[in-house]
Chain A
Amino acid sequence: MPSLKDLRNRIASVKATQKITKAMQMVAAAKLRRAQEAAEAARPYAERMEAVLANLASAFEGRDDAPRLLAGTGKDDVHLLLVATAERGLCGGFNSSIAKLARERAKSLLAQGKTVKIVCVGKKGFDSLKRDLGSHVVKTIELRHVKRVGFENAEEIGTLVREMFDAGEFDVCTLFYARFQSVISQIPTAQQLIPATFGEAAKVAQTDAVYEYEPDEGEILADLLPRNISVQIFRGLLENAASEQGARMSAMDNATRNAGDMINKLTLNYNRQRQAQITKELIEIISGAEAL
């Protein structure tokens, strides 16, 4: 049976924890708003880019002179998984759900006899994947020092991916990130970057107007495809940032509520024990007086 003093200490420590989780929740809420704004601000660019590329790419469909970034290398032996996660923990199932999706994909690819290479963006993904897939991780990129993800960060990663592709180190590249849907729901997503794929929405957005191209279509496409990789990575990183804050917010909300429940239980216990002790002392006094 814990003494009164023990109980008092425990209540104090749970209260301190509750204060921390509460503060983290509020910080995450503030950061979430900014991250969400950034993700929304980046949407027009990525959408236009996708629409234009889909338009251009349809002209090249099935042609032999299509750029390699669009048509691929013609093989799919070596897969590069680009796994984007957070730098910090304490955000519920956010990191583990992305890692889980990547792990499943890696396992199924390995079972098919393909080679898998992994590039981790963010420390937490690497921490979780290194246990069983550590030998496949070729590089880890940390964004710990980055306060707000800028386009430069995405470009850095994009350049790395392009260099690896040009060097023939992989055939197919897939990006893993969590798409932000709402504070309580973030969807782990796999998006194929190379060879480039376009969503159905982009194809509908095509216009009938006949465009004049300057320089010609092929050159524009060759210029835009590498840029598109960076843009898609950037979008993934921003969605990830918003998802992370959303996940942390709800995780910390839960933690705060749990701490509250715990404090209530402990306080009840404490009061009951205090009452018992008072009663015991009274009995002692009364029985002492009667004995006289």
Chain B
Amino acid sequence: MAGAFQFELVSPERLLLSEEVTMVVVPGSEGEFGVMAGHAPMMSTLRPGLLRVSREAGADQVYFVRGGFAEAGPKGLTVLAEHATSLNDLRAEDIAGQIKNAEEDLSDASDDEARARAAATLSHLREVQAALKAA
């Protein structure tokens, strides 16, 4: 097992998490990626999805994140998410509301690019909803 590294999850309102972890799975906009200690410096934007934090001891923690970016550097991993909620606090209605918004965005989209983006957001949110139901 690789060593631990410093992980910070920050939302505009507060610092949600700052501790030593062994692995974090980040929902990047080009696909999910796992970060472990000694990861090459990289930066990626986020898509709406679930962020899984594994620690040396104890169960994994899962957060729902939306909008923002992740930065892996020599000092560890920092995720700046515009919205970040612990999965335990996330209510089904919230997600349903966001899905409804995304559906409206999709039907309002004027050009192909906007439509593709709205469709992607919608499918990501559906995934989260399914995961939430399974949990």
Contact = CB atoms under 8 A, between A and B. Distances in A.
Interface of A: 38, 41-42, 44-46, 48-49, 52, 150-151, 154-155, 207, 209-215, 219-220, 223-224, 227, 231, 234
17 contacts: A41-B13, A42-B12, A46-B12, A49-B80, A52-B43, A52-B69, A150-B13, A207-B74, A212-B43, A213-B44, A214-B29, A214-B42, A215-B44, A219-B45, A220-B45, A224-B69, A227-B68
A207 B73 contact: yes
A61 B78 CA distance: 25
The binding surface of chain A is classed by DSSP as: helix
Nearest to A234: B12
Contacts of B74: 207, 209
Nearest to B33: A214
Contacts of A224: 45, 69
Contacts of B42: 211-214
Nearest to A149: B13
Contacts of B10: 44-45, 48
- Give the size range of B's interface with the partner: 20 to 34
A204 to B, nearest CB: 15
Contacts of B41: 207, 209-212
Interface in B37-85: 40-45, 67-69, 71, 73-74, 78, 80, 82-83
Contacts of A150: 13
A116 B74 CA distance: 46
Contact of A42 (B13, B30, B67): B13
B105 to A, nearest CB: 13
A42 B16 CA distance: 11
Interface of B: 8, 10-15, 28-30, 40-45, 67-69, 71, 73-74, 78, 80, 82-83
Contacts, number: 76
A42 to B, nearest CB: 6
Contacts of A46: 12
Given A215-B29, A215-B30, A224-B69, A44 B15 contact: yes
A77 to B, nearest CB: 28
Contacts of A209: 41, 73-74
Closest A-B pairs by Cβ, 6 of them: A41-B14, A212-B42, A209-B41, A214-B44, A151-B12, A211-B41
A48 B73 CA distance: 13
Contacts of B12: 42, 45-46, 151, 154, 231, 234
